Amino acid sequence: MSYESFYQRSVDDPDGFWAEQARRIDWQTPFDRTLDYRNPPFARWFCGGTTNLCHNALDRWLTSQPDALALIAVSAETGEERTFTFRQLHTEVNRTAAMLQSLGVGRGDRVLVYMPMIAEAHITLLACARIGAIHSVVFGGFASHSLAARIDDARPVLIVSADAGSRGGKVIPYKKLLDDAIALSHNPPPQVLLVDRGLADMPRVAGRDQDYATLREQHLEARVPVCWLESGEISCILYTSGTTGKPKGVQRDVGGYGVALATTMATIFGGKAGGVFFCTSDIGWVVGHSYIVYAPLLAGMATVVFEGTPTWPDCSQWWRIVEKYRVSRMFSAPTAIRVLKKFPTAQIRNHDLSSLEALYLAGEPLDEPTARWVTETLGIPVVDNYWQTESGWPIMALARALDDRPTRPGSPGMPVFGYNVQLVNEHTGELCGPDEKGMVVIEGPLPPGCIQTIWGDDARFVSTYWSLFERPVYATFDWGIRDQDGYYFILGRTDDVINVSGHRLGTREIEESISGYANVAEVAVVGVKDTLKGQVAVAFVIPKQGDSLLLADVAQQEEQAIQHRVDDNLGHFGRPARVYFVSRLPKTRSGKMLRRALQAVCEGRDPGDLTTIEDPEALREIQRVLGGPTARAG
């Protein structure tokens, strides 16, 4: 079957298409209706069917491959490595499920997980799925006030946490942050379950705080039956990062999520039972939810849980794992690859990477220089894909099991099955033609596994995503363009648009031009208020050769060269008013650039909630360079 016909059927006959894909997972009770879209934009998938994500991830493999690897937990921070077969992981999940039940957790209850990337975090999520509890992961290290807001919104009956995590050799104590958050919360949980890693002091609150290891010893022989859930019941709540005001909890179902992930593993990610899948994200982000916790296990693959950074203590951390555990598929972010690009490639090539068949990248647009470098360095296909927290799985990609079209630099490919993607004019809502820039929208219904609603706020779900245009379509708030051959290109967020003297420019377009300059390792561009032009572009560049830029005259020459390059590529309206050279850029620990924070600092405003920032010194460096008359390296 060609991809064109596969895709077209998914949008023309979603009932028939998804009924077939639903065979990829086990159902305890068959569904009696594939899609209920009588109350748009709320879509209900596989109505009446009962299933369970934990069963599909673990139990169904116990007869065919019980002793195959299921979980590989590696900490570059502590040097600890632990592996679990499907049988062993099933046993541990049963123990933890019994522990949760002993603490009063039942079907539909929320369990907030605030943990480092350790095996217990993954096991806890599977245990929640087993007993029908709703897990809500808050990224480890989140500041107390942000954590408190999520506690109040989710109202968990239990929080599972740890004494500390570690990042780049630096211990990050969690318990103090958690205690302060609970003190700030209006709905404190009755129970807290704590993993003691011996990394930081962890004073206990009597009557509330329980020890994970002690409780585990009490349930070593536990066997907890699967709680079969109706397909539309809630599997998880995941709060979008960077939210201001009340947190926005993306709510996802059980059956639709399982079917969507199983289908993507077969068609996009090439998942095969017995293989090893290494997603370098964090379970606190949607990529980690989907492609660390669930999707690999649904495909019968081992999944890697990694604590650490790709460059500490050196840049061989990922590649050692690939070599040792014979990783076959890897999923990461363009930002992480751009970081690796600054290090000697020998530290990568010195490892046996012959098992690695493909690298998938998502999280932000993949620029051509980075794509070219990683393809040449690894010698394997590099597949870009585009999606959001709300979608839960790729919106655009090249489904390699069905689609042999070549990749196109800068493009994540074509719309994925199930997504009726369109480009519309932001003002009129009319469809855009080839090579016309517009907003990426999706015609309803959203396919299985996507956001059901915003937790506890259906009205906000409708007003946020479905009310931007007269015609009810889901707004991604991303700019895009489609070429004559149907390849899409994502140009950045609609709120990252710069309006220079009435000319609207996406920061992504300017970044793409600058990234092609020889001495640029990484770049971020923001729009800054200007009394004459409305806004001007300001660029922050990490140079490949930073030491020479300590000289102001060299920095000025490089700045002018970059400005001329943008002039030539985009015209003078896209030219950055300033180019600042820095040694680092502010990002979240998942690799996303904090462009709004950069913009705020440039305009002398409060940068807002920075609790997810990887390196606070990065923003302080930006403030220092903005205070001087010349651009200097950090």
Q: What residues are paired with 112 via a beta bridge?
A: 136, 159
Tokens coding 13: 């006959």
Whether residue 185 contacts residue 152, with contact meaning beta carbons closer than 8 Å, is answered with yes
Which residue type, as a one-letter code, is found at position 256? G
pLDDT in tens, 39-50: 999 999 999 999
pLDDT of amino acid 437: 93
pLDDT < 70 stretches in the chain:
241-245, 495, 497, 499, 501-504, 546-552, 590, 609-612, 628-634
> Angle at the Cα of 375 (from 372 to 377), degrees rounded to 5?
105
* pLDDT for res 219: 98
Task: Let me know if residue 324 belongs to a domain.
Answer: no
Residue 621 lies in a domain: yes
| Rounded Cα gap, residues 586 and 613, in angstroms | 6
Q: Where are the alpha helices (DSSP H) in 406-517?
A: 458-465, 507-515
45 CB-near residues (< 8 Å, 6+ apart): 18, 34, 35, 36, 231, 232, 253, 255, 256, 259, 448
Q: Domain for residue 530, yes or no? A: yes
The domain in which residue 602 lies consists of 501-627
pLDDT value at residue 392: 97
Name the nearest CA neighbour of 90 among 109, 63, 62: 62
Integer CA distances (angstroms), 71 to 152, 202, 276, 353, 495, in order? 32, 27, 9, 20, 39
Say if residues 360 and 295 touch (Cβ distance below 8 Å).
no
To which residue do tokens 């001087």 refer?
Answer: 628
Which pLDDT score, from 0 to 100, does residue 354 have? 97
Q: What is the DSSP letter of 523?
A: E
> Cβ atoms within 10 A of the Cβ of 114, count?
28
| CATH code of the domain containing 544 | 3.30.300.30
**Torsion angle (degrees, nearest 10) of CA 122, 127, 132, 134:** -40
- State how far the Cα of 17 lies from the Cα of 409, in Å rounded to an integer: 31
pLDDT computed for residue 503 by the predictor? 64
Q: What is the DSSP letter of 205?
A: P
In the structure encoding, which two tokens stand for residue 316, read together? 């061989």
Q: How far is CA 350 from CA 7, 277, 317, 331, 353, in A?
A: 41, 21, 12, 21, 9
Burial of 143 (0-12, 13-18, 19+ CB in 10 A): middle
On whether residue 78 sits in a domain, the answer given is no
Per-residue pLDDT reduced to its tens digit, 581-613: 999 899 877 677 888 889 889 988 888 766 667
Residue 537 φ/ψ, nearest 5 degrees: -85, 140
Task: Give domain status of residue 564, yes or no.
Answer: yes
Residue 582 in tokens: 């820095």
The answer to whether residue 514 is domain-embedded is yes
Q: How much is the mean pLDDT over the chain?
A: 91
137 in any annotated domain: no
Number of domains making up the chain: 1
Q: Decide if 359 contacts 324 (C-beta within 8 A).
A: no
Residue 387 to residue 418: CA distance in whole angstroms:
13
Q: Residue 73 corresponds to which tokens in the numbers above?
A: 């937990």
Size of the chain in residues: 634
**Using CA of residue 155, residue 160, residue 164, residue 166, what is the dihedral sign?**
negative
Cβ neighbour number for residue 623 with a 10 Å cutoff: 11
Q: What is the pTM of this model?
A: 0.86
Q: Rounded to whole angstroms, how far apart are CA atoms 589 and 33?
A: 41
Identify the pLDDT of residue 80.
97
**Rounded CA separation 158/134 (Å):** 11
Looking at residue 611, what is its pLDDT? Answer: 65
Residue 292 is given by DSSP the state I
d(C-alpha 148, C-alpha 292), whole Å: 26
Output the CA torsion sign for 482, 488, 491, 495.
Answer: positive
Residue 231 lies inside a defined structural domain of this protein = no
